[in-house]
A and B are shown apart, each in its own frame.
Chain A
Amino acid sequence: MALASLCLASLCLASAQSPQFALDPTALVGVHTTCGARDKRFILEVNGGGLALADFDGDGDLDLVVVDGSTLERAARGEPGFPTRLFLNDGSGHFAAAPAAWAIAPSRWGMGCAVGDVDGDGWLDLYVTHWGRDQLVRNRDGKGFEPRELACLGDERRWGTSAAFLDFDRDGALDLAVANYLTFELGKVPPSGGDCRWKGHDVMCGPQGLAAEHDWLLRNTGEGTFVDATATAKLTPASAAFALGCVTLDYDRDGDADLYVANDSTPNFLWDNQGDGTFREVGLQRGVSHDMNGKEQAGMGIAVGDLNGDGRADLLVTNFSGENNALYLSRGARGFVERSGPAGIGGPSLTRLGWGTGLHDFDLDGRLDAFALNGHVYPQADEPGTDTSYAQPADFYRGLPDGRFAVEPLFEGAPRVLRASTVGDIDGDGDLDLVVLELDGPVLVLRNRARTAADGAGARWLRVELRSKSRNRFALGAQVTAVWSAGQRTAEVRTSGGFQSSVPPEVHFGLGSAEQLERIEVRWPSGRTSVLEHVLGNRLVRIEEPDA
């Protein structure tokens, strides 16, 4: 009897310690990406590609876009890189290559992507960033992609990373912000083994010493085409920075779309939309440019969520090894305060180099959790004395009742060199799953165990999709507030987030054991509002924008 009790206790312990996510090797088979050579002699080879989840074919489930890279040899020969690919979901979270109608012509070297309906036809289009000219592909009524040629997609040297759709001028058409990293010219950047050293080891050069590129703001003319509005919108800081992540948010809740940009080795930018078609950079003023010590960090990925239910966006930024991931908590109109240490994630992230990230209620307990994908840029991180490693464990930050996070393994298995991530309920079971990209390795599907775990059947959730009357059909920028017995939380509809990735245009709430919400309030980008009362959980709710 004593032995049986002990065994049961052990089982309970094992169950409690199981990671939140499980790798599903059958969900996506044999999909790999390439980003240069494995010895990483040039900075161009270290960031990896991008991912997006969205329903492109209109069948009600989330399809997957994988942005692939290239090799220096191909680039030197003038050959295109590996193509961006779409994989269609069979409804159960298993993906297969899409038919030829969805093929995207290979371009120079793919990096990241953004999803949005640029022409207001109700179908989600795709923007792909590159080292070289970016690509915009239009969704033909859920039947395939077709390229759109634009004059403002850059030149062969510019390196774009993340991108974000937003309606900055509130004309109802989706505009586009593009985070640009630097100018990279083959033959002009020295390889590793020269003067570039890190912790005493020869490493690839950059970004310091290379020319940073200004970010872009492309204004939608309303015809599904874009013009460069960077200068007229004053999105031009005194010095260009090495941008890697970008996300839209209405941080001050004044009804217009602001923009946050994570910069590598330079202070992060918070572009405050002035409401007159221009922006003002207020990162330092609002407390989101540096860490708590006033040190600039190497920002990579960005997660946004209303952690404390105050209706305002909080930010999590992943950073370089030797720097903590930064957690910026909103303080209302006064801006933000960095609190990664007290939240319990500052210390554990110091030896990690973080990339893809997200803030969602993954375990459906009514509190936001987060994750950070990790992996160094230098293979030399495995050399002695670096206090870090090339392959690293991925971290799950489980939200606790006291506002702190418990740091746990994201999924089982050996450390990997992970980069981009995207989040969505790929199997329709109500919890949010992950797709992650391993550098020069497979794209991995991580299924959330929240609804399949023994104690998860009772956990409740709600997904909300919005349909606007404007050309911004998916209502990017709308604020959705869910109020239930245990509290309230506000989420913004956006597709930007993480690193070089895009997420579905919807919001998701974990409700714990609450069977229904008292109400859902929607503040549409147009300024109209909707209120739904007594909404039952465990369902997808689609809300149409009311007439004026």
Chain B
Amino acid sequence: MRRALAACAVLALALASAAQTSAERAAALSFDPSRLSRAGEGRWREWKPTDQLPDSVHDALALALTAYRESDYAAALVHLHAALAREPDFPAALYQLGVAHFRLRRYGDAAAVFERFLAVAPGELGATQALAHCYYSLGDYARAQAHYERVLALAPTSAEAWRGLGLALLRQGDPSGALARLERALELKPDHADALAWRAQALFELGRSEQALAALGRAIELGPHEPRPWFLLAQVQSELGREDEAERSRTRFRELSAIEQEVRAQEGLLLHDPRAVEPLARLLKLHRAARNPEGLGEVLARAVRLAPRTLELQCESLEAADALGRRELGAQLAAELEQRFATSRAAWEALERHFAALGDSSAAERARASAARL
């Protein structure tokens, strides 16, 4: 009886803590970054990223980092606001706050925070590539261009900044300028699939369709699951009079585009509810269908961190581990599946597929028999 009461007390505490966190998250999400305290004005002018963290913000920043790693950006905002309440304008916290807003796709708020970061630590211009990304995402291509150029003046080997600059120019109707910058990005990072695809776009706009075709071939080789290169490929092939090939590219584009649309929707759900199980399971299925190992690996890592997992998420995680050839993880997930969901036919069917994929026919047969009994 006493043990039951104690358990209830623990549960009540956990619930109270969860409720408080939820309120804090809502408050953090409602906070207008332009209202951040400026009490630290001028204090961090000489700050360097290598400086030791003040003790007063150490724990909050560590918690923010943990939340960030778990893709819980709202929780990261809570901890970063706490850090900034203790040390107003502390540059590292400001910077992370901007990144968290950016990951939440709140580009206006992210830009406001990064602008503040630059006002506080003007020497860290090179670290604010994300500010240029914000302006690009807000459609302010001229300002994005200006900022990419400032970043490159300090960090001329940033392939990402060259790519961004190329895109900003392309959006403003300068395909020649864009091409030069995208080629610079590719000199620095030859296998940058996105830069390759945008280079193809610039070439296409310049009427150099054969070269665009070659660039797209490489982009698709590097990222066959991305719909955009297929979309452009169809246009280029059509321009070259290769209509049959163009139609095949359109078909592949339609398949990948439908998957990508749902991926975006599920990721949008996870942004605001990072522990939601259904979107994770759905994402695993979608990335597997698109044969996207990077996406599958990222979502699988998130799914594995979640516990307890639902039957659907456990099965999808197992399928994902098998698809990625991660045998050790697959074995662990299969054992958990057998242990926790032994009365589920779907679990045994997943196990049968798992063992069959491994070539373990006797285990697969045993799983099939178990499924049949249910």
Contact = CB atoms under 8 A, between A and B. Distances in A.
Interface of A: 197, 199-200, 208, 284-285, 287, 290, 292-296, 324, 334-335, 337, 339, 341-344, 346-351, 383-387, 404
B311 interface: no
B109 A350 contact: no
Interface stretch (B170-178, B323-331, B349-357): B170-178
B172 A351 contact: no
Interface residues of B, number: 42
A341 B171 contact: yes
B139 A343 contact: no
B250 A284 contact: yes
Contact of A294 (B101, B108, B231, B272): B231
A296 B272 contact: no
Contacts of B234: 284
A294 B138 contact: no
B227 to A, nearest CB: 6
Given A334-B239, A385-B104, A296 B261 contact: yes
Contact of A293 (B138, B228, B239): B228
Contacts of B106: 199, 384-387
Interface stretch (B27-35, B123-131, B288-296): B27-35
B172 A341 contact: yes
Interface string B111-136: 00000000000000000000000000
Nearest to A385: B106
A295 B239 CA distance: 20
B107 interface: yes
Question: Which has the most chain B C-beta neighbours within 10 Å: A292, A335, A339, A386?
Answer: A292
B139 A384 contact: no
A384 B228 contact: no
Contacts of B238: 285, 334-335
Contact of B272 (A200, A342, A344): A200
B139 A324 contact: yes
A294 B234 CA distance: 11
A489 B245 CA distance: 35
A346 B138 CA distance: 10
A194 to B, nearest CB: 13
A387 B265 contact: no
B139 A294 contact: no
Contacts of A284: 234, 250, 253-254
Interface string B46-87: 000000000000000000000000000010000000000000
Contact of B109 (A287, A292, A324, A385): A385
Question: Which has the most chain A C-beta neighbours within 10 Å: B104, B138, B265?
Answer: B138
A293 B106 CA distance: 21
B141 interface: yes
Contacts of A294: 227-228, 230-232, 253, 257
Contact of B250 (A285, A337, A341): A285
A386 B246 CA distance: 38
Nearest to A286: B238
Contact of B105 (A199, A296, A337, A339): A199
A350 B139 contact: yes
A385 B29 contact: yes
B314 interface: no
Question: Which has the most chain B C-beta neighbours within 10 Å: A197, A292, A294?
Answer: A294
B317 interface: no
B247 to A, nearest CB: 8
27 contacts: A200-B104, A200-B271, A200-B272, A285-B238, A285-B250, A287-B235, A294-B227, A294-B228, A294-B253, A294-B257, A295-B257, A337-B235, A341-B173, A343-B173, A344-B173, A346-B171, A347-B140, A347-B141, A349-B139, A351-B138, A384-B29, A384-B30, A384-B31, A384-B106, A385-B29, A385-B101, A387-B138
A347 B173 contact: no
B304 interface: no
B80 to A, nearest CB: 15
B269 interface: yes
Given A199-B105, A285-B238, A351 B139 contact: yes
Nearest to A348: B139
Contacts of A292: 201
Given A290-B231, A347-B139, A384-B32, 5 more contacts: A200-B104, A284-B254, A294-B228, A339-B173, A342-B172
Interface in B192-241: 201, 227-228, 230-232, 234-235, 238-239
A347 B171 contact: yes
Top 3 closest A-B pairs, CB basis? Answer: A342-B173, A294-B231, A350-B139
A334 B234 CA distance: 12
Contacts of B108: 385, 387
Nearest to B250: A284
Given A200-B271, A346-B139, A347-B139, A208 B231 contact: no
A350 B144 CA distance: 14
A270 to B, nearest CB: 14
A287 B246 CA distance: 12
Contacts of A385: 29, 101, 104, 106, 108-109
Contacts of B272: 197, 199-200
A387 B105 CA distance: 9
Contacts of A346: 139, 171
A387 B107 contact: yes
A348 B104 CA distance: 21
A287 B235 CA distance: 8
A381 to B, nearest CB: 12
A290 to B, nearest CB: 7
A63 to B, nearest CB: 39
Contacts of B253: 284, 294
A349 B172 CA distance: 14
A404 B173 contact: yes
A78 B335 CA distance: 59
A272 B6 CA distance: 72
Interface string B243-277: 00011001001100100010001000101100000
